A and B are shown apart, each in its own frame.
Chain A
Amino acid sequence: MVEKTPFLDLFTYAFLMLGIFIVGFPIIYSLIAATLSLEEVSRVPMPLIPGDQFIVNMKEAWSRGDLGTQITNSFIMASGITIGKIAVSMIGAFSIVYFDYRFRVVAFASVFCTLMLPVEVRILPTYEMAANVLSPLQSLWDFLHLNSLMSWFSGNDISVTLNWCLLDSYTGLILPLVASATCTFLFRQFFLTVPEELCEAAKIDGASPMMFFRKILFPLSKTNIAALVVIEFVYGYNQYLWPLLVTTNPKMTTAVIGLQNLIPQADDLPEWNIALGAAVLVMVPPILVVLLMQRWFVKGLIEKEK
């Protein structure tokens, strides 16, 4: 930097190493535990030299936790949320920024206010909603006494029950998490910085709104999309509360939830090597995404919170 400070530099690097060590320690330690046999892992303190049981433990964790199915589920959920969120909020932002219509401000405000309603504050009603998505229509139906109206009309007893259950389905895992105020806001901010001339030129050349979106706006947004892909993939993959609520079938649950069953309880064999092996395995995909797309990730993280 600006002056020579050998001692302080030494101090800096020493503490930096320490910081990296503290941050990395739980993961490295879990990785070591995953290579040990049951007898070694329950020794106190656990040996810090990796053992040779890694493959055995991984196989055991894979089959016992049904990780193949669950990681696939996590992938489907994470990709669904990522693609859905970006698509929905991008066209939403396009509508808000590039069109003038009566309910524009209302639409934006109502999307924006969802910031204040995370799943955590409306657990039970959202679950009821997922159990029957058509329940608002059902209440409307009942309120208008349409059953008796129809019975009267046709002369027979007719009763209509509207039911569409999202529990234990991919739609149920993905759909409720697809709306995002932050993504819409990010795209809106970005679209506002796009030069006016581009739109004017496109209009002069006779491009339709969708043509402008496809040929100009979409290519310009590629960096933003890349950044959001990283953030939203990690977000979707690591979801906990929502999959816990909507899935009861172990075949439909996600990997992060499934891990819970592998944690040794007080009366079980202390098979921490299996539990931690599974944990390490499950955390690999999002870590890879973050590390491989680090540049986009940092950009996305900082942009998104603006």
Chain B
Amino acid sequence: MIKRSFFKSKYLPYLLIFPQLLVTLTFFYWPAVQGIFQSFLLSDPFGRKSKFVWFYNYIELFTDPLYLKSIFITFTFSIAVAFVSISLGLFIASMANRALKAKALVRTMLIWPYAVAPAISGIMWLFLLHPSYGIVALAIKEWLGVNWNPVLYGSDAMVMIVMASAWKQVSYNFVFFLAGMQAIPKSLIEASAIDGASPFKRFWFISFPLLSPTFFFLTVMNIIYSFFETFGIIHTVTQGGPGGSTNILVYKVYQDGFVGLNLGSSAAQSVVLMTLIIVITFLQFRFVEKKVQYSG
């Protein structure tokens, strides 16, 4: 789309778009192409010799039980994070939307974890869930009778990173749900109240369906978040351990490529992730953009 009235200039538009294109070409497209190219090569760790091996890296990857396990872990992790943070965000937002007084104050008090870096959220939860010092760990041990030890047990470590990731994301979801709820016309709520619908029914039959676009959008965003942005949490909290039980795909790319110097496999993993995010982005634009009606 372009404006009806526009400027004419021979060189100026190119000059203006040049910095943007330069950065995207050097740091986005060139590396991406390199990555795709490398995924077809088998090279020694020092990158001196390499051989073109077609799909060898991919075949190796998808027959590697560790990689299949990592895929499973990533999906479990992202579904858990999305579920916990979205349901908490929705719950708190629906409460905050009912609060007549101090709405602004409530919002202020709930918004700030957004500014906390994932890695810092990881450090705090590492302490809260520390097997010997953590207070939440103590509560789990005392009340639930679980032998809590995320250093030894994979499932406990998974719970730990889910908590750290979901906690940070609650305020993001809260902001969107609250904005969504405030955009619902008051007249709808009032009309149904006159018809005798209880607050719960109003929520369930009016607010909730009208929030479904927000809901879908947040599901996508939370899954992207837990796929890609939780790297800091994994790196500070578990480093993929114990025994690879929290080694999500992005962390595995880093470990295999940057630490383990297995260049071909890491590149193939990158290409798999790239495909994945292209699919997610496509779905997002296909479904979100069409169904959502934003009011400005």
Contacts and interface: CB of A to CB of B under 8 A. Distances in A.
Main secondary structure of the interface of A (DSSP, over half): helix
Interface stretch (A52-60, A63-71, A143-151, A171-179): A171-179
A98 B116 contact: no
B263 interface: yes
Contacts of B149: none
A276 B277 contact: no
Given A124-B258, A125-B35, A118 B98 contact: no
B7 A178 contact: no
A270 B170 CA distance: 30
Given A23-B113, A44-B132, A98-B3, A256 B30 contact: no
Contact of A199 (B5, B21, B26, B109): B5
B24 interface: yes
Given A276-B123, A298-B179, A290 B112 contact: yes
Contacts of B100: 1, 9
Interface string B119-140: 1110111111010110100100
A98 B7 contact: yes
Given A99-B9, A179-B20, A272-B133, A26 B167 contact: yes
B216 interface: no
A26 B5 CA distance: 54
A26 B124 CA distance: 6
A155 interface: no
B266 A123 contact: yes
A184 B19 CA distance: 12
Contacts of A104: 2, 13
Nearest to B272: A121
Interface in A255-306: 256-257, 259-260, 263, 266, 270, 272, 275-276, 279, 282-283, 286-287, 289-291, 294, 297-298, 301-302, 305-306
B4 interface: yes
Contacts of B167: 23, 26
A13 B227 CA distance: 34
B127 A1 contact: no
B257 interface: yes
B254 A241 contact: yes
B121 A26 contact: yes
A45 interface: yes
Given A125-B31, A129-B26, A290-B111, A100 B2 contact: yes
Query: Which range holds the interface residue count of chain A?
Result: 35 or more
Nearest to A127: B258
Q: Is the interface of B mostly helix, strand, loop or mixed?
A: helix
Contact of B23 (A178, A200, A298): A178
A51 interface: no
Contacts of B38: 124-125
B228 interface: yes
Q: How large is the interface on B (under 10, 10 to 19, 20 to 34, 35 or more residues)?
A: 35 or more
Contacts of B21: 107, 110-111
A208 to B, nearest CB: 8
A115 B8 CA distance: 29
A117 interface: yes
A15 B110 CA distance: 13
B108 interface: yes
A29 B27 contact: no
B42 interface: no
B92 interface: yes
A120 B231 contact: yes
B144 interface: no
B128 A26 contact: yes
Interface string A35-54: 00000011011100000000
Closest 4 CB pairs of A and B: A240-B232, A125-B31, A99-B13, A95-B16
13 contacts: A23-B109, A100-B2, A116-B278, A123-B266, A123-B270, A192-B3, A209-B7, A240-B117, A241-B231, A301-B114, A302-B175, A302-B179, A305-B217
Interface of A: 1-3, 5, 8-9, 12-13, 15-16, 19-20, 22-24, 26-27, 29-30, 33, 41-42, 44-46, 88-89, 91-92, 94-101, 103-104, 107, 110-111, 114-118, 120-130, 133, 136, 175-176, 178-179, 184, 191-192, 196, 199-200, 203, 209-210, 212, 234, 237-238, 240-241, 244-245, 256-257, 259-260, 263, 266, 270, 272, 275-276, 279, 282-283, 286-287, 289-291, 294, 297-298, 301-302, 305-306
Given A27-B113, A283-B117, 11 more contacts: A16-B96, A16-B99, A95-B17, A99-B16, A111-B21, A116-B277, A203-B5, A234-B114, A238-B117, A298-B179, A301-B176
